[in-house]
Amino acid sequence: MLIRSLALLLVSAIVATPALAQDRRVPSSGAELRLSFAPIVQRVQPAVVNVYAAKTVQNRNPLLDDPIFRRFFGVPGQQPEQMQRSLGSGVMVDASGLVVTNNHVIEGADQVKISLADKREFEAEIVLKDSRTDLAVLRIKDSKEKFTTIDFANSDELLVGDVVLAIGNPFGVGQTVTQGIISALARTQVGITDYQFFIQTDAAINPGNSGGALVDMTGKLAGINTAIFSRSGGSQGIGFAIPANMVRVVVASAKSGGKAVKRPYLGARLQAVTPEIAETLGLKSPTGALVANVAANSPAARAGLKLSDLIVAIDGQVIDDPNAFDYRFATRPLGGSAQIDVQRAGKTVKLNVPLETAPDTNRDEIVLTARSPFQGAKVANISPAVADELRLDASTEGVVVIDLADGGTAAGVGFQKGDIILAVNSQKIAKTSDLDKASKTSARIWRITVVRGDQQINVTLGG
């Protein structure tokens, strides 16, 4: 069972010089085996913080959902409230007080506090949240001082076997350091975020470590600890961290003042190469990312990418599957282009794809508030940017659910983020204004056509 740990962890290997990775060698004497990690810990520990998040929720009595109970006993005017709290870790990445942590640590929070290693506490505001990477950036409020920070490592230079330190606050016991090695790289079957490309480590990570630092032997940030694989709820030697190069992209968007992360947009749908497809294509092994669709006028189309092309490398880095491509492409800086190597009809073709953001015209987001099955749903027209965010086919059109309010009718009847609304009571839904109008119509029966994934669903609900 994958368990997200709410604390600081993940220490990644860091480069000793801009051109050279950290020096790697086996200890040559007993004296070297007695060397200590203390100098590294003392340098980076002040930059690792605790993150406390709290949100207010109402304790709803389930009897209030019973119409007979409501009829005879009435509805109390005010429901009792309860404060829910969560604990995680974070890393100071800018001296002005910018902290990166996991999005799941602060999701839905009304209040966020940062506690430093020296026990001082500060109120913090949420600058940016990115559910696609499970990262969030916070800023300490009303502070004039300069804080200790950790520099980013180049996570592409990490190797399996590199020694790393994980720093966080497991189980809320206080700041803790654990040591291990990088057990694997480019883990793509973890199922935590949209970008499946994790560092795996055996350094102990436990609940409370989420958002913490994985540090290499030069004291640089290799990654942000995010999850563990565990049957007991505690560390069993399999932890996962988001690579520093992805963290860097999210932090850069926050520093630029953006409310959303700006990433390159490809405009093509990719699929994994199965053994059967590999045999059909005459490949030695089932690797690469197969192009299943190319959107018109997209960067992919302008670069010359075609249906059935097999992407095997980007800027010289080998691509094993679509998840690897998504990560590599998303961490490319905007502007300029990326060189993609594709196999086409048995030959290698090199294409230059422009690195630009997805167009986001005519998004027209609205929250539906009328009494209907859609009450509490936030919907948007499907622009290329929306399709990219929700992992929809680049050529998809229509109206899609992008968020659901807790306790709203839409969430209660089973709508999900990413559902595409095609029709309501035989009326075609082409844009958000159509759905807003339909939701305000009185109806005893609601007949709704929805596309979820690759399946079209017809639903009938009472009014």
CA angle 140, 146, 149 (to 5 degrees): 85
pLDDT at 309: 94
Active-site residue (options: 5, 12, 89, 104): 104
Q: Return the structure tokens found at 238.
A: 């399999």
Q: What are 395's two structure tokens? A: 């050529």
Q: Are 48 and 114 in contact (CB under 8 A)?
A: no
Cα-Cα-Cα-Cα torsion 455, 448, 373, 415, nearest 10 degrees, comes to 0
Q: What are phi and psi of 172, to 5 degrees?
A: 70, 20
**Structure confidence by residue, pLDDT tens digits, 6-26:** 333 333 333 333 444 556 777
- 368-383: per-residue pLDDT in tens? 998 899 999 999 999 8
Does residue 104 carry a catalytic annotation?
Answer: yes
Whole-angstrom distance, CA of residue 421 vs CA of residue 296:
23
Active-site entry in 134, 202, 216, 321: 134
Q: How far is CA 433 from CA 2, 210, 319, 429, in A?
A: 40, 40, 42, 9
Smallest CA-to-CA distance from 155 within 229, 94, 250, 220 is with 220
Distance between CA 451 and CA 59 in Å, rounded? Answer: 33
Reference 90, options 205, 5, 212; nearest CA is 212
The list of the chain residues with pLDDT below 50 reads 1-20
Catalytic residue, chosen from 89, 210, 298, 372, is 210
Does the annotation mark 134 as catalytic?
A: yes
Q: pLDDT at position 11, please?
A: 32
pLDDT at residue 430, as a whole number: 92
Structure tokens at 361: 């015209």
